[in-house]
């Protein structure tokens, strides 16, 4: 499940991921929210917080993530990834090769620092 975090701003979308992410999470929350930030600002800053209960993606959700990421690879200026299992963080680092933005990984106890970095223009 994905939920938009209260600390999101008009230029930065922060989401909390827990459990297994579904296609509905992408279609109903993640993609529309990111597209709104991109439309409003030209580029998006984003923060993905994966809590200790994060279990990954359903196959269809993973496909949605890949399609969206490729279509919008130049539409991000920053991506902060907080927490998550090692395999998910490794996947983020691989995805960074396709994106035209700065990506930083943070441990869960550094969520506030990640939020400050992602929020700054």
Where exactly are the structural domains of the chain? 2-119
CATH topology of domain 2-119: Transcription Regulator spoIIAA (3.30.750)
| Mean pLDDT value of segment 84-113 | 83
The string of pLDDT tens digits covering residues 22-76 is 999 999 999 999 999 999 999 999 999 999 999 988 999 888 878 887 788 899 9
* Dihedral-angle region of residue 19 (phi above 0 means left; psi in -120 to 50 means alpha; beta otherwise): left
Q: What is the pTM of this model?
A: 0.89
Count Cα atoms within 13 angstroms, Cβ side, for 42. 1
Cβ neighbours, 10 Å, residue 95? 17
């Amino acid at each position: 499940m994905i939920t938009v975090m209260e600390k999101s701003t008009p230029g930065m979308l922060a989401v909390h991921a827990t459990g297994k992410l579904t296609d509905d999470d992408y279609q109903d929350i993640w993609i529309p929210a990111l597209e709104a930030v991109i439309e409003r600002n030209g580029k998006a800053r984003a923060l993905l917080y994966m809590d200790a209960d994060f279990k990954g993606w359903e196959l269809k959700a993973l496909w949605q993530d890949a399609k969206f990421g490729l279509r919008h690879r130049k539409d991000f200026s920053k991506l902060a990834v907080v927490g998550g299992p090692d395999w998910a963080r490794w996947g983020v680092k691989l995805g960074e090769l396709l994106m035209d933005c700065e990506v930083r990984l943070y441990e869960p106890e550094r969520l506030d620092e990640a939020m400050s970095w992602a929020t700054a223009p």
